Structure 1
Amino acid sequence: MSFSLSHSWEVVRFLLSNLRWWMEEYHFDGFRFDAVTSMLYHHHGIGTSFSGNYSEYFGTHVDEDALVYLMLANHILHRLYPQCITVAEDVSGMPGLCRSIEEGGLGFDYRLTMAVPDKWIQALVGDKSLAFWLMDKEMYTNMSTLNAMTPVIDRGIQLHKLIRLLTHSLGGEGYLNFMGNEFGHPEWLDFPRKGNDESYYYARRQFNLVDSEHLRYRQLYAFDRDMNLTEDKYGWLAAGQAAVTTLNQADKVIVFERANLLFIFNFHPCNSYNDYRVAVEHAGKYPFTRDLKKASTS
């Protein structure tokens, strides 16, 4: 989306009135502004790697007309509907995106950082779930506890847990699961279109899977539940930025500290380690928390 306020004021009025219509007619709780990155910059974020340098966010490549529109949209929504929540889907990390307009920000309440899921897979509409990428067709036949655990399912489930915990603890200040809570639903979400003969067959999420006691989806759910309860106890999402002390590509080990906790991840496919030396900020004994032990080994 790209436009100029000086030449397309009718478009701006239509967009703003459209926001108000949805609020007046359907009493929405708020809006998620999709693909905000493509609006903020003339290059639409294509072929650009955002490292955090201020020169990436301020300059002639920034679409000032789009900035003004987003500020107007947030100003109108929050002024007329104080209960309204606005969320910006952004991969760039534009400074001030969630600061108030009075402070020179764009006025959003929250930022949905889509750069994190793209670190694992290219999360596109109609794509397969992360669990399906890890376990593929075996999810249709080997997710029952009545069958012996296969190497693919065993490895896939453990990686699924590690990926979620690493993202949760290191990713930022909030955590949002994918639709259906992403407990490994084997079907991907595909809306009716010409390519699938307008079929509704895959336009669904199988929420019932987690309720089946003999399926291993319950293990994925148990881990997600305990992970969130553990965060409630220690509060790492509200803590400062994590300090990464070890990033060993050969050993596939990453170590970081956050919220007075020491996180140690081993992603090596076959190596486990004893007496592995890591740096810590404070000397002393570090007890092992058992909040996630049961869920991680089940």
Structure 2
Amino acid sequence: MTTDLNFSLFTDFDIQLFKAGKHYHLYNKLGSHVAEHQGQKGVYFAVWAPNARFVSVVGNFNLWDRQSHPLKVRWDGSGIWEAFLPGVQEAEYYKYFIESNNGYSVEKGDPYAFHWENPPHTATITWDIDYAWNDQKWLASRAGKNPLSKPISVYEVHIGSWRRVHEEEGRFMTYKELANELPAYCSYMGFTHVEFMPVMEHPFYGSWGYQLTGYFAPSSRYGTPQEFMFLIDKLHESGIGVILDWVPSHFPTDEHGLGYFDGTHLYEYDDPRKGFHPDWKSNIFNLTRNEVRAFLISNALYWLDKYHIDALRVDAVASMLYLDYSRKEGEWIPNQYGGRENLEAISFLQEFNQAVHTYYPDVFTVAEESTAWPGVTSSVESGGLGFDMKWMMGWMHDTLDYFAKEPIYRKYHQGQLTFSLVYAYSEKFTLPLSHDEVVYGKASLLDKMPGDRWQKFANLRLLFSYMYGHPGAKLIFMGGEFAQQHEWQHDYSLDWHENNDPLNNGVQKLLRDLNSLYKEEPGLYERNFDPGGFEWIDISDASNSVISWIRKGNNRKDDLIFIASLVPVVYENYRIGVPEIGFYKEIFNSDNLKYGGSDVLNDPEIEAFPIPMHGRTHSVPLILPPLGLIVLKYVRSNPII
């Protein structure tokens, strides 16, 4: 088998863009590509290794001989090595053998490979990712629309542990098997989106995908690239959007990965005070290098282009923004102005968001950013980072801390529950009840709740109901929707059998109805990110632990009134002020018997009387259920005769 060193996929313009860090589609050029040249079929290989003195392709097609198939470095100073190998076919295992100018030698997986071996094996695989998509209707419905103008209710999923095939010793479900179950389940539950924890190839399963080696390849643990596309296709056919977790903040130090790639710190900073993450024991991308920025932005666009992904959730943004993140004094390097802000990361995140929104204006981006960094969801033009949404970590921590308190003490902490509305519109927020809150001894959502068994379930129903009444998009990690009792364990399936219990199943029914309410009531989504879409009725009744508020749509007829009683007491004839004269209907009650509640419900219609309350001329008398939330909607001005 000969090597053709004169074939290239690169033009001079490609090289100019690559050097400038503005080539955002490098996955079409670098890596391995099944191709035909001068009538011969084979594979074109190209790898960036500017500090190498010798690079070759080794694989099962040449018995891993390091000398038989050398690559040729380009003349233009780009540091790209390339060659066309006639006769190499699809599904061949390969790596790059690299000898550095400093004498270091190593075999590396292809950073741009579309497919990798199943871990713990570490070779990359030649692969054609063509696929006949069937989601044209979905993409057409997405086109030209603001994705934040509709309900966003996200089901966060870890592919390896959503379900296991128990008949076969608890093995992983494949992408194709998931495609037969997950879309139907999400449709049944009413979720609008699935968010997959990172599916990109990663050597250590216990990292949950947050330590990546194969940035351009879905994990082989569950099947081929086309089978992952099939799963996305089926989700789209079911009307479910797909969000991917994306990790541009750090990468593992495994020898076959990106670290010390060509005998130098090519992808990572060379100084460990910037290039090594103390928390995760991983490398940090060198965002001063144009080629590294282009690698990452190309990777983001690759998933939107080739896999039709609808959104990217960017992991660990705070760790990128602060040079002193998790570092003590003397362990970090200040920026050029002496500050702690990582200026390269700021400009990179801005460039990433601009690129995504330029090429895919109907796709959205979400930041997991845990500090008060200003302007995360402000436009780049106004000095912001350019994300569409940000995880509301403060809401999550405060809310879970409040709900963990025994109800008798809640009256002393009501401000903890209502404080989030002070800053709820400072950014465009997603409310996350994510995987991070149900691992490492933090307890499941159900076990965070105080009280006896009935109260635990009532508190959880109340928590979810309050979440859906709060402004912002929603995110719930798998298992929470049916009140799984145990913490999430990535080596096992969710405890689906628990859903046979009426109380667990009641929580699932409640979540399903909340998702339905969210999608049916414009007052819950039309002004989700507009401060004019929310108004408190009363937050002062701490002695009874009751709060009430209004969610507003574009039309007053779509306004909804929420009343939450946060103690296990039934309040009769509890009166709140209402904005309209006439009759109201209780359209939701978390204490409904079908959810496992005590069935303390209000009459089908509730008349507003001219009794002033809460600064309003009229008010309604209500029965408030124990540890319950009710939703009222105005129905008419005159009684039925």
Q: Same fold (TM over 0.5)?
A: yes
Higher strand share: 2
Aligned-partner residue type, residue 237 of structure 1: Y
Secondary structure of 1:158's aligned partner? helix
Match in the other structure for 1:238:
526
Deviation at residue 44 of structure 1 after TM alignment: 5.4
Aligned-partner residue type, residue 526 of structure 2: A
Q: 2:318 aligns with which of 34, 37, 43?
A: 37
Match in the other structure for 2:564:
265
Q: 1:218 aligns with which of 501, 505, 508?
A: 505
* Corresponding position: 1:277 with 2:575: yes
Hey, which bits of structure 1, 4+ residues long, moved more than 6 A? none
Post-superposition Cα deviations, 1:27-76, rounded to whole Å, max 9, x if no partner, equal 45243212323444567599xxxxxxxxxxxxx77554432121022233
Secondary structure of 2:573's aligned partner? coil
* Corresponding position: 1:133 with 2:433: no
Post-superposition Cα deviations, 1:16-35, rounded to whole Å, max 9, x if no partner, equal 41342465489452432123
Deviation at residue 117 of structure 1 after TM alignment: 2.0
Deviation at residue 104 of structure 1 after TM alignment: 3.9
Match in the other structure for 2:406:
none
Match in the other structure for 2:548:
255
Q: 1:155 aligns with which of 455, 460, 480?
A: 455
Match in the other structure for 2:622:
none
Secondary structure of 1:286's aligned partner? strand
Alpha-carbon distance in structure 2 between the residues aligned to 1:61 and 1:297: 51
CA gap 1:241/1:85 in 2 versus in 1, 3 angstroms: closer
Secondary structure of 2:586's aligned partner? coil
Query: TM-score scaled by structure 2?
Result: 0.35
Alpha-carbon distance in structure 2 between the residues aligned to 1:125 and 1:38: 21
RCO higher in structure (CA 8 A, sep ≥6): 1
Alpha-carbon distance in structure 2 between the residues aligned to 1:114 and 1:160: 19
* Corresponding position: 1:179 with 2:478: yes
Match in the other structure for 2:185:
none
Alpha-carbon distance in structure 2 between the residues aligned to 1:186 and 1:78: 40
Aligned-partner residue type, residue 466 of structure 2: L
Task: Tell me, yes or no, if the aligned pair for 2:498 and 2:504 is still in contact at 8 Å.
Answer: yes
Match in the other structure for 1:18:
296
Alpha-carbon distance in structure 2 between the residues aligned to 1:180 and 1:167: 17
Deviation at residue 110 of structure 1 after TM alignment: 2.7
Match in the other structure for 2:165:
none
CA gap 1:25/1:189 in 2 versus in 1, 3 angstroms: same
Task: Tell me, yes or no, if the aligned pair for 2:503 and 2:595 is still in contact at 8 Å.
Answer: no
CA gap 1:25/1:289 in 2 versus in 1, 3 angstroms: closer
Q: How does 1:99-118 map to 2 (within 5 A)?
A: 99-118=378-397
Aligned-pair Cα RMSD in Å? 3.6
Deviation at residue 176 of structure 1 after TM alignment: 1.3
CA gap 1:62/1:294 in 2 versus in 1, 3 angstroms: farther
Alpha-carbon distance in structure 2 between the residues aligned to 1:159 and 1:218: 15
Match in the other structure for 2:353:
74
Deviation at residue 159 of structure 1 after TM alignment: 0.8
Alpha-carbon distance in structure 2 between the residues aligned to 1:62 and 1:278: 48
Task: Tell me, yes or no, if the aligned pair for 1:91 and 1:114 is still in contact at 8 Å.
Answer: yes
Secondary structure of 2:512's aligned partner? helix
Secondary structure of 1:97's aligned partner? coil
Alpha-carbon distance in structure 2 between the residues aligned to 1:34 and 1:182: 23
Secondary structure of 1:268's aligned partner? coil
Task: Tell me, yes or no, if the aligned pair for 1:252 and 1:267 is still in contact at 8 Å.
Answer: yes
Task: Tell me, yes or no, if the aligned pair for 1:16 and 1:73 is still in contact at 8 Å.
Answer: no
Task: Tell me, yes or no, if the aligned pair for 1:187 and 1:205 is still in contact at 8 Å.
Answer: no
Deviation at residue 158 of structure 1 after TM alignment: 0.9
Task: Tell me, yes or no, if the aligned pair for 1:245 and 1:256 is still in contact at 8 Å.
Answer: yes
Task: Tell me, yes or no, if the aligned pair for 2:318 and 2:369 is still in contact at 8 Å.
Answer: yes
Match in the other structure for 1:143:
none
Deviation at residue 114 of structure 1 after TM alignment: 2.3
Post-superposition Cα deviations, 1:106-126, rounded to whole Å, max 9, x if no partner, equal 222332222222123373643
Secondary structure of 1:111's aligned partner? strand
Query: TM-score scaled by structure 1?
Result: 0.69
Secondary structure of 2:449's aligned partner? helix
Count of paired positions:
253
Unaligned runs of 5+ in 2: 1-248, 250-272, 276-285, 328-338, 402-436, 553-558, 598-641
CA gap 1:204/1:278 in 2 versus in 1, 3 angstroms: same
Secondary structure of 1:216's aligned partner? helix
